[in-house]
Amino acid sequence: MQSSSFGPKILLGFVSLYSIDAFSAKITEIFDHSYVDLSLDQDETNIDEEGRSLELKTFKDYVLSATSNSTTLGLLLHCFTDGIILTTSLFSQQDNDRHSNSILIIISLFLHKLPASFSLTSILLSQRLHTKTVLFHLTLFSISAPIGALVTYLFSHVMDHSDPNTGNSFVLLFSAGAFLYVSFHSFLTCHGNTDNTLKDSQNWSFLMTTIGMLVPVLLSILHDD
Protein backbone atom coordinates (compact mmCIF):
# COMPACT_ATOMS: atom_id res chain seq x y z
CA MET A 1 0.00 0.00 0.00
CA GLN A 2 1.33 3.39 -0.95
CA SER A 3 2.27 5.78 1.83
CA SER A 4 0.25 8.53 0.12
CA SER A 5 -2.93 6.69 1.10
CA PHE A 6 -2.07 6.71 4.81
CA GLY A 7 -3.24 10.25 5.48
CA PRO A 8 -6.84 9.98 4.19
CA LYS A 9 -7.48 6.78 6.15
CA ILE A 10 -6.07 8.21 9.36
CA LEU A 11 -8.12 11.35 8.78
CA LEU A 12 -11.22 9.21 8.19
CA GLY A 13 -10.83 7.63 11.62
CA PHE A 14 -10.37 11.04 13.22
CA VAL A 15 -13.33 12.64 11.45
CA SER A 16 -15.57 9.63 12.13
CA LEU A 17 -15.11 9.76 15.89
CA TYR A 18 -15.27 13.55 15.84
CA SER A 19 -18.61 13.40 14.00
CA ILE A 20 -19.98 10.68 16.29
CA ASP A 21 -19.04 12.70 19.35
CA ALA A 22 -20.51 15.92 17.96
CA PHE A 23 -23.75 14.44 16.64
CA SER A 24 -24.25 12.29 19.74
CA ALA A 25 -24.45 15.49 21.75
CA LYS A 26 -27.07 16.86 19.34
CA ILE A 27 -29.07 13.62 19.31
CA THR A 28 -28.90 13.37 23.08
CA GLU A 29 -30.18 16.93 23.40
CA ILE A 30 -33.11 16.24 21.04
CA PHE A 31 -34.11 13.04 22.80
CA ASP A 32 -33.63 14.66 26.18
CA HIS A 33 -36.14 17.39 25.30
CA SER A 34 -38.64 14.83 24.02
CA TYR A 35 -38.11 12.79 27.18
CA VAL A 36 -38.91 15.83 29.34
CA ASP A 37 -42.03 16.58 27.29
CA LEU A 38 -43.12 12.97 27.58
CA SER A 39 -42.61 13.00 31.33
CA LEU A 40 -44.70 16.14 31.67
CA ASP A 41 -47.53 14.49 29.74
CA GLN A 42 -47.63 11.43 31.98
CA ASP A 43 -50.51 11.19 34.40
CA GLU A 44 -50.45 9.80 37.90
CA THR A 45 -51.59 6.35 36.73
CA ASN A 46 -48.06 5.75 35.40
CA ILE A 47 -46.58 6.06 38.90
CA ASP A 48 -46.71 3.35 41.55
CA GLU A 49 -47.13 3.78 45.28
CA GLU A 50 -43.39 4.32 45.79
CA GLY A 51 -43.21 7.06 43.16
CA ARG A 52 -41.51 4.92 40.51
CA SER A 53 -42.73 4.59 36.93
CA LEU A 54 -44.74 1.49 36.13
CA GLU A 55 -43.45 -1.40 34.03
CA LEU A 56 -43.38 -0.66 30.29
CA LYS A 57 -45.67 -2.77 28.12
CA THR A 58 -43.96 -3.10 24.72
CA PHE A 59 -40.42 -3.51 23.43
CA LYS A 60 -40.80 -0.22 21.57
CA ASP A 61 -41.44 1.54 24.88
CA TYR A 62 -38.23 0.09 26.29
CA VAL A 63 -36.22 1.23 23.26
CA LEU A 64 -37.72 4.71 23.41
CA SER A 65 -36.95 4.92 27.12
CA ALA A 66 -33.28 4.22 26.38
CA THR A 67 -32.94 6.54 23.38
CA SER A 68 -34.75 9.36 25.15
CA ASN A 69 -32.51 9.16 28.22
CA SER A 70 -29.48 11.40 27.71
CA THR A 71 -27.30 9.49 30.18
CA THR A 72 -27.99 6.09 28.66
CA LEU A 73 -27.68 7.28 25.06
CA GLY A 74 -24.36 9.00 25.71
CA LEU A 75 -22.89 5.91 27.36
CA LEU A 76 -24.16 3.65 24.57
CA LEU A 77 -22.38 5.71 21.93
CA HIS A 78 -19.25 5.85 24.08
CA CYS A 79 -19.23 2.07 24.57
CA PHE A 80 -19.80 1.49 20.85
CA THR A 81 -16.68 3.55 20.16
CA ASP A 82 -14.78 1.52 22.76
CA GLY A 83 -15.72 -1.62 20.83
CA ILE A 84 -14.23 -0.12 17.67
CA ILE A 85 -11.00 0.71 19.49
CA LEU A 86 -10.92 -2.77 21.07
CA THR A 87 -11.00 -4.55 17.71
CA THR A 88 -8.53 -2.25 16.00
CA SER A 89 -6.08 -2.56 18.87
CA LEU A 90 -6.23 -6.36 18.58
CA PHE A 91 -5.53 -6.15 14.85
CA SER A 92 -2.44 -4.10 15.60
CA GLN A 93 -0.83 -6.96 17.58
CA GLN A 94 1.44 -9.61 16.13
CA ASP A 95 0.05 -13.14 15.98
CA ASN A 96 2.30 -14.44 18.77
CA ASP A 97 1.35 -11.58 21.11
CA ARG A 98 -2.31 -11.23 20.18
CA HIS A 99 -3.66 -13.81 22.66
CA SER A 100 -1.96 -12.44 25.77
CA ASN A 101 -2.51 -8.82 24.84
CA SER A 102 -6.17 -9.40 23.98
CA ILE A 103 -6.80 -10.72 27.49
CA LEU A 104 -5.18 -7.63 29.01
CA ILE A 105 -7.20 -5.32 26.75
CA ILE A 106 -10.48 -7.05 27.63
CA ILE A 107 -9.69 -6.91 31.36
CA SER A 108 -8.80 -3.22 31.07
CA LEU A 109 -12.05 -2.53 29.22
CA PHE A 110 -13.99 -4.45 31.86
CA LEU A 111 -12.41 -2.47 34.68
CA HIS A 112 -13.10 0.73 32.75
CA LYS A 113 -16.80 -0.11 32.37
CA LEU A 114 -17.39 -1.47 35.87
CA PRO A 115 -17.64 1.91 37.67
CA ALA A 116 -19.64 3.31 34.74
CA SER A 117 -22.23 0.56 35.15
CA PHE A 118 -22.58 1.34 38.86
CA SER A 119 -22.95 5.03 38.09
CA LEU A 120 -25.54 4.39 35.37
CA THR A 121 -27.56 2.17 37.69
CA SER A 122 -27.53 4.78 40.44
CA ILE A 123 -28.60 7.53 38.03
CA LEU A 124 -31.43 5.47 36.54
CA LEU A 125 -32.72 4.46 39.96
CA SER A 126 -32.61 8.08 41.08
CA GLN A 127 -34.82 8.89 38.07
CA ARG A 128 -37.48 6.58 39.53
CA LEU A 129 -37.44 4.18 36.59
CA HIS A 130 -38.94 0.71 36.90
CA THR A 131 -36.48 -2.08 37.74
CA LYS A 132 -37.04 -3.87 34.42
CA THR A 133 -36.45 -0.61 32.56
CA VAL A 134 -33.16 -0.15 34.40
CA LEU A 135 -32.15 -3.72 33.54
CA PHE A 136 -32.95 -3.08 29.87
CA HIS A 137 -30.76 0.02 29.86
CA LEU A 138 -27.94 -1.95 31.48
CA THR A 139 -28.33 -4.74 28.93
CA LEU A 140 -27.92 -2.26 26.08
CA PHE A 141 -24.93 -0.78 27.90
CA SER A 142 -23.38 -4.26 28.19
CA ILE A 143 -23.77 -5.24 24.53
CA SER A 144 -22.93 -1.91 22.89
CA ALA A 145 -19.15 -2.44 23.05
CA PRO A 146 -19.32 -6.03 21.67
CA ILE A 147 -21.57 -4.78 18.87
CA GLY A 148 -19.05 -2.07 18.01
CA ALA A 149 -16.26 -4.65 18.02
CA LEU A 150 -18.28 -7.04 15.83
CA VAL A 151 -19.18 -4.34 13.31
CA THR A 152 -15.51 -3.32 13.08
CA TYR A 153 -14.42 -6.94 12.63
CA LEU A 154 -16.98 -7.58 9.88
CA PHE A 155 -15.99 -4.38 8.12
CA SER A 156 -12.33 -5.41 8.26
CA HIS A 157 -13.26 -8.89 7.00
CA VAL A 158 -15.08 -7.41 4.00
CA MET A 159 -12.15 -5.12 3.26
CA ASP A 160 -9.77 -8.06 3.56
CA HIS A 161 -11.74 -10.09 1.00
CA SER A 162 -11.92 -7.21 -1.46
CA ASP A 163 -8.19 -6.54 -1.17
CA PRO A 164 -6.14 -8.80 1.17
CA ASN A 165 -3.26 -6.32 1.20
CA THR A 166 -5.32 -3.43 2.54
CA GLY A 167 -7.88 -5.06 4.84
CA ASN A 168 -6.01 -4.97 8.14
CA SER A 169 -3.98 -1.92 7.15
CA PHE A 170 -7.16 0.10 6.67
CA VAL A 171 -8.40 -0.85 10.14
CA LEU A 172 -5.04 -0.01 11.70
CA LEU A 173 -4.88 3.40 10.02
CA PHE A 174 -8.50 4.09 10.94
CA SER A 175 -7.62 3.14 14.51
CA ALA A 176 -4.68 5.55 14.46
CA GLY A 177 -7.03 8.38 13.55
CA ALA A 178 -9.47 7.29 16.24
CA PHE A 179 -6.73 7.32 18.87
CA LEU A 180 -5.63 10.75 17.68
CA TYR A 181 -9.12 12.05 18.34
CA VAL A 182 -9.19 10.42 21.78
CA SER A 183 -5.89 12.17 22.54
CA PHE A 184 -6.83 15.61 21.24
CA HIS A 185 -10.62 15.77 21.58
CA SER A 186 -10.37 18.25 24.46
CA PHE A 187 -9.19 20.87 21.95
CA LEU A 188 -12.34 20.40 19.84
CA THR A 189 -15.02 21.89 22.06
CA CYS A 190 -17.45 23.16 19.44
CA HIS A 191 -20.08 20.72 20.68
CA GLY A 192 -19.37 20.91 24.38
CA ASN A 193 -21.60 23.84 25.29
CA THR A 194 -25.35 23.53 24.70
CA ASP A 195 -26.36 27.09 25.50
CA ASN A 196 -29.01 28.27 23.05
CA THR A 197 -27.11 31.46 22.20
CA LEU A 198 -24.10 29.43 21.07
CA LYS A 199 -25.81 26.66 19.07
CA ASP A 200 -25.45 28.38 15.70
CA SER A 201 -21.79 29.20 16.27
CA GLN A 202 -21.16 25.62 17.43
CA ASN A 203 -22.74 24.21 14.27
CA TRP A 204 -20.66 26.51 12.10
CA SER A 205 -17.56 25.62 14.10
CA PHE A 206 -18.15 21.91 13.55
CA LEU A 207 -18.76 22.45 9.82
CA MET A 208 -15.70 24.64 9.31
CA THR A 209 -13.48 22.29 11.34
CA THR A 210 -14.56 19.32 9.24
CA ILE A 211 -14.08 21.23 5.98
CA GLY A 212 -10.66 22.38 7.18
CA MET A 213 -9.62 18.76 7.69
CA LEU A 214 -10.97 17.57 4.34
CA VAL A 215 -9.70 20.37 2.08
CA PRO A 216 -5.98 19.38 2.34
CA VAL A 217 -6.89 15.80 1.42
CA LEU A 218 -8.84 16.94 -1.64
CA LEU A 219 -5.99 19.21 -2.69
CA SER A 220 -3.47 16.39 -2.35
CA ILE A 221 -5.67 14.09 -4.46
CA LEU A 222 -6.04 16.73 -7.16
CA HIS A 223 -2.29 17.36 -7.07
CA ASP A 224 -1.53 13.65 -7.53
CA ASP A 225 -3.90 13.48 -10.50
- pLDDT given at position 45: 47
Please check whether residue 86 is in contact with residue 79, taking contact to mean a CB–CB distance below 8 angstroms.
Answer: no
201-204-210-214 Cα dihedral, nearest 10 degrees: -140
- pLDDT given at position 44: 45
What is the DSSP track for 152-191? HHHHHHHHHHH-TTTHHHHHHHHHHHHHHHHHHGGG--TT
Please check whether residue 79 is in contact with residue 148, taking contact to mean a CB–CB distance below 8 angstroms.
Answer: yes
CB count, 10 Å around CB of 1? 12
Q: Checking phi first, is residue 100 left (phi over 0); if not, alpha (psi -120 to 50) or beta? A: alpha
Cα gap 202→191, rounded to integer Å:
6
Cα gap 127→99, rounded to integer Å:
42
Amino acid at 74: G
Cα gap 221→215, rounded to integer Å:
10
Please check whether residue 13 is in contact with residue 181, taking contact to mean a CB–CB distance below 8 angstroms.
Answer: yes
- pLDDT given at position 99: 62
- pLDDT given at position 147: 92
Please check whether residue 160 is in contact with residue 167, taking contact to mean a CB–CB distance below 8 angstroms.
Answer: yes
Please check whether residue 141 is in contact with residue 79, taking contact to mean a CB–CB distance below 8 angstroms.
Answer: yes
130 DSSP assignment: -
Signed CA dihedral, 153, 16, 111, 126: sign only: negative
Per-residue pLDDT of the chain (225 residues), as tens digits, is 555 567 787 888 788 777 776 776 666 566 555 555 545 444 444 555 454 565 677 787 888 888 777 678 778 877 887 787 777 777 666 555 556 666 777 787 778 788 888 888 998 888 888 888 889 999 999 999 889 889 888 877 776 655 555 556 676 677 677 767 766 665 555 444 445 555 666 677 778 878 888 887 787 777 665
